[in-house]
Structure 1
Amino acid sequence: MKLDQLRKSLVEPKHPDLYLNQSRNSDTRLKRSLGRLDLTLLGVGGVIGVGVFVLTGIAASKDAGPAVTLSFLLGGVIATLAAFIYAEFASHVPVTGSAYAYVSMAFGEFPAFLTGWALILTYAVGSVAVAIGWSGYVKSLFLGLDIPYLPEKLTRNPLDGGTVNLPAGLVLILILGLLMIGTRKSSSFNNLMVGVKIGIILLFLYLGSRHIQPVNWHPFFLHGGWGVLAGAMTIFFSYVGFDAVTTAAEEAHEPARDVPFGIIASLGISTFLYMAVSLVLTGMVPSSALNNPAPVAHALLDVGVGFGKTLVTVGALVGLTSVLLVLLFAQSRILVMMARDGLMPRIMYRVNPRFRTPVFTLAILMVFVSLPAMLFPIGALARLTSAGTLLSFILVALALLRFRKLHPPKPGAFRCPWVPWLPLISIGLDLLLIGSVPKTTLLLLLGWLGVGILFYVLGKKGLFPAPSLGEDEPET
């Protein structure tokens, strides 16, 4: 009997109706409050941020040179291929959980758990790294305006000679608190932030385009094709945020149409803006001069646009704040779905009856992301976010190939084009990027998955019972 149960965990797919029924239960049902524009801006909010204000300079100066524009194009293509695959799943089975739920419906519980476990690492490390960057920009803004700021020991973690990075922890707590009071309110806040940062990016493009010197684009391929590939791996973390659109499928008004639109539109807008910023940036100053924490602001200073530094710093803060909002939103929804399946403590799948949000999950996240952000220099682990995401992309692409055989596409739902060739090409490009990751990063990822297996075993011992759904309630 035990061997039979193990076989089911490893290879028996879960039926989509199971997740659809869970999404309608009164204890676990999330509120449908997001439209097509909300979903598109949710994706843009998660993608546009750290790539523009931090990673563009790192990839240009250390990896690709002016060809970093092609690194963003390659990253956008790889993310878009994955997006078509995600869009079919989200359209057919509009539930929260994203890659975790999709793999579960194709391969069963254990592979799905490993997918969700990898995404937990991706979102947690990503949120901590972005929060630390946010803290640095706040400090830069205050000092640039000659406004008294916190003592140095309260803005640095102990390993960097301080006591605690207080701003990094506080911004995570505040955003998680906002997510507690409702998806509609947090979505409106995200829409406002996205509008502000796109406006500032367009202002930078206007100001920067007037100071382009074509000589800075030569040589364009500073380190050849491998430099472009290395740059793509460096900046790929920027594209992680589109996955948040699929985690919001259960909260969309018309998920079959709106979620695919939101995924693809947000990636198209984000890729265009990334390429435009990187092209203008490397045309303004030599790529070797971009190796600093605020490349866009410093480039404006270098060409004599002093007031632009303050504007870009404000834009960076807005951009990084919206990225944090989207990353934490997505992580909480994946944890909710895993808890529904009995793979996380059962309190994590319950929603507040007033706000219809998973307040207990968000409260747990407050502890597990704010403390590391205040105490550790997690920025060095940022490549883990890319590696974990690429692993989930590969598993979801494989899942679509099997899911198509188990459940033919529904009439009117979105269908991924060119199956099986598009998923296979997506897998090949994902493996190409993973192959450029340092061995240390891969070992850390494997170590995290090993910890996850132990956690899974505890869950199977009955420590995390799945919810008893009872009778379904109509959706409101």
Structure 2
Amino acid sequence: MPRPGLRVKSPDLLVAESGADREGHGLKRTIGPFQLVCFGVGAIVGTGIFVGLSDTVAEAGPAVIISFVLAAITCIFTAFSFAELGGAIPVSGSSYSYTYATLGERAAFLIGWCLLLEYGVSVSAVAIGWGQYLNELLHNTIGWQIPAALADAPGHGGVVNVPAVIVLLLAATLLVRGVRESARATASMAVIKIGILLLFCAIAFTAFEAGNLSPFAPEGIGGIGAGASLAFFSFIGFDAISTAGEEVKNPRRNIPLAILVTIGVVTLLYCLVSVAALGAMPWQDVGGKPAALSLIVNHATGSTFGSTVIAVGAVVAIASVVLAVMYGQTRILMSMSRDGLMPKVFERVSPKTATPVANTWIVAVVFAVPAAVVPLDVVLDMTVIGTLAIMAVVNVCVIALRRSRPGLERRFRVPMYPVAPVLGVAFSVYLMWGLPWLTWVQFAGFLVVGLLLYTFYARPRSRLSLRGVRNET
């Protein structure tokens, strides 16, 4: 039970205030189960596999397959927790709202603060990766590339990453037009990207050589662990499904279903891609190389046609991730704004488009800055550690809500409870442990800033009323 004085908002109040069981706050229920799964796939499959695969291979070698499995296991246990909480508390706040209902307002604000890393900073990382494949596509089709000064961050041979800024502004433009249009675009792009990755596998397997997988783990257990920490980035985004709680038809059923289906599809796809990639080309030639999938296809076919197709798929895939992740960030900020913990501008919904227009443009402009000038590896590590911290807390939330509200309606229940959420915490902490110490220092500083913001800005403005507070022993 929450300790005395803990500022907890009950699940019933969260649902009532959000309008999760009706048309609430101007948001409309337009997303069906297929579109929701496509939204989940759209949020996940992108920079992590198209761009980050080479960095993961550099750490683990052919054992990157095990790294992906470890990252997937972490996500599966946490996906169970998200599925249960998403069905029980179907609101747009995702892990922020789940924490508010179980661990209290201070913890909820810090989780919302960390969500700026998972959604906001990660959208910057994804946008950076988009520019790499855009240049590959331009080179293969018209023989021209964006000059390095306008395509890379300072310190990496560039001045400003213009493509990253462009894709963020394009995504914002689509999002403010309406959820229905965004969902349709995301669904189309998800189908395209899956098709492109399956095509990659078909091409890569034609050049498969078992000898390329030996030695299997050249960097040992440490390399597999470090690779798993990087591979985890490839799975970030499945929880974005839960941010659509107020715009999904029958959310108590469809949110848990979409989360589990999405994780299953993505895990199988990633394992297949990693086996095909490392069977087709020695891992030493893949590790650390930009646009690695195109490189492998060129090697397998002896031409640039295949890599052009892969580049098209990557440009589409990564753009869809920008769209889905930016959507999630705006809905998190909307929920926090409703509670008074963020400025009121983030909760305003346009009566014409039923979308948070100002919110969306603020997110696009703010996160275009790190996308334009920060190197990918720096952005990537901070995104991973923030997301893993959130996932550890979500698993704790399941246990806390089972204890505090055992009778709450749950369409889905975590299997093997309480073992599964405990393992979810353990795997999350294990992957966090594999990150560089500097990332830990940066993350600690980030949390301190968040705590100060809560103490001096958010708590005095909180709209948590007496009827929304539960003080239990």
Task: Classify the TM-score, shorter chain.
Answer: over 0.9
* Displacement of 1:163: 4.0
What TM-score do you get using the length of structure 1 for normalisation?
0.92
| 2:160 aligned counterpart, secondary structure | coil
From the superposition, tell whether residues 178 and 409 of structure 1 become closer, same or farther in structure 2 (CA, over 3 Å): farther
CA contact (8 A) 2:47 2:130 kept: no
Does 2:332 align with 1:334?
Answer: yes
Does 2:32 align with 1:30?
Answer: no
Tell me what 1:415 maps to: 413
Deviations 1:267-290 (A, max 9, x none): 100000000000011000111110
* Displacement of 1:418: 1.9
Tell me what 1:471 maps to: none
CA contact (8 A) 1:154 1:162 kept: yes
Tell me what 1:49 maps to: 46
Q: Which amino acid aligns with 1:333?
A: R
Within 5 Å, which residues of 2 pair with 1:200-219? 200-219=196-215
Tell me what 1:383 maps to: 381
* Displacement of 1:138: 1.2
| 1:11 aligned counterpart, secondary structure | coil
Tell me what 1:473 maps to: none
Does 2:276 align with 1:280?
Answer: yes
* Displacement of 1:122: 2.2
Tell me what 1:3 maps to: none
Tell me what 2:468 maps to: none
Tell me what 1:265 maps to: 261
In structure 1, runs of 5+ residues without a counterpart are: 1-6, 469-476
What TM-score do you get using the length of structure 2 for normalisation?
0.93
Does 2:316 align with 1:318?
Answer: yes
* Displacement of 1:29: 4.2
Deviations 1:282-306 (A, max 9, x none): 0001111102011111011122342
The 1-side partners of 2:53 and 2:293 are apart by 9
The 2-side partners of 1:150 and 1:290 are apart by 24
Q: Which amino acid aligns with 1:43?
A: G
Report how many aligned residue pairs link the two structures: 460
The 1-side partners of 2:336 and 2:4 are apart by 14
Q: Percent identity?
A: 36
Does 2:11 align with 1:13?
Answer: no
Deviations 1:241-263 (A, max 9, x none): 10100111221101111111100
* Displacement of 1:164: 2.8
The 2-side partners of 1:69 and 1:281 are apart by 10
Q: Which amino acid aligns with 1:57?
A: S
The 1-side partners of 2:273 and 2:300 are apart by 16
From the superposition, tell whether residues 223 and 305 of structure 1 become closer, same or farther in structure 2 (CA, over 3 Å): same
CA contact (8 A) 1:114 1:452 kept: yes
In structure 2, runs of 5+ residues without a counterpart are: 466-473
CA contact (8 A) 1:383 1:441 kept: yes
The 2-side partners of 1:234 and 1:163 are apart by 26
Deviations 1:338-377 (A, max 9, x none): 1111110012112111221111211211221112222333
Greater mean deviation of Cα atoms: 372-381 or 246-255: 372-381
The 2-side partners of 1:467 and 1:49 are apart by 38
From the superposition, tell whether residues 386 and 372 of structure 1 become closer, same or farther in structure 2 (CA, over 3 Å): closer
Give the alignment partner of residue 231 of structure 2, picking from 227, 230, 235: 235
Tell me what 2:293 maps to: 296
Give the alignment partner of residue 402 of structure 1, picking from 400, 403, 428: 400
Does 2:137 align with 1:146?
Answer: no
Q: Which amino acid aligns with 1:262?
A: A
Deviations 1:145-183 (A, max 9, x none): 235555543334444454432221111011012111111
Does 2:131 align with 1:135?
Answer: yes
